[in-house]
């Protein structure tokens, strides 16, 4: 092959290499939590219904059947200001370690022995879905 004829091939390879490098990685990829799946939402809803509704209420408003026994009352988990103030890690921490573990009321028991990480992750996703 004469040197001149090699140029188109070299150009083609160079273009392919350059294109390969240009796959943009979104800047938020590392921090944005993955979108919750329907499975997580369903699992979270059933965990919440089984363990949390008696105190926190169906919609997380803090008006469950047992809430009047509690002082302080469970707070409104659906409140947008509360939702904004807390990260998923904060919520998971409070659920896993209980109120006493994070400086809140010990009437909120730790769930880390009852629920596994998958269930805690799912119930956090569900609590997020309660936001008004």
122 binds ligand HEC per the rule CB under 6 A: no
Distance of CA 104 to the CA centre of its chain: 21
Q: How far apart are alpha carbons 92 and 35 in whole angstroms?
A: 17
Binding mask 23-62 for ligand HEC (x = CB under 6 A): ----------------------------xx-xxx------
Q: Are 79 and 88 in contact (CB under 8 A)?
A: no
CB nearer ligand HEC, residue 45 or residue 75: 75
Q: How many CB atoms lie within 10 A of CB 101?
A: 16
CB of 72 to ligand HEC, least distance (A): 5
Report in angstroms the alpha-carbon separations of 98 from 31, 35, 55, 108. Answer: 26, 26, 14, 5
121 binds ligand HEC (CB under 6 A): no
- The binding site for ligand HEC (CB under 6 A) comprises 51-52, 54-56, 66, 70, 72, 74-75, 86, 91, 94-95, 99, 104-105, 107-108, 111, 123, 127
């Amino acid at each position: 092959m004469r040197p001149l004829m090699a140029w188109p091939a070299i150009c083609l390879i160079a273009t392919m290499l350059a294109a390969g490098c240009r796959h943009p990685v979104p800047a938020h990829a590392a921090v944005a939590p993955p979108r919750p799946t329907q499975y997580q939402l369903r699992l979270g809803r059933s965990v919440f219904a089984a363990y949390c509704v008696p105190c926190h209420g169906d919609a997380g408003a803090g008006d469950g059947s047992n809430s009047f026994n509690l002082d302080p009352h469970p707070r409104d988990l659906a409140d947008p200001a509360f939702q904004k103030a807390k990260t998923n890690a904060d919520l998971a921490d409070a659920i896993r370690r209980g109120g006493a573990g994070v400086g809140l009321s010990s009437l909120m028991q730790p769930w880390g022995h009852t629920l596994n990480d998958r269930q805690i992750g799912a119930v956090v996703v569900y609590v997020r879905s309660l936001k008004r």
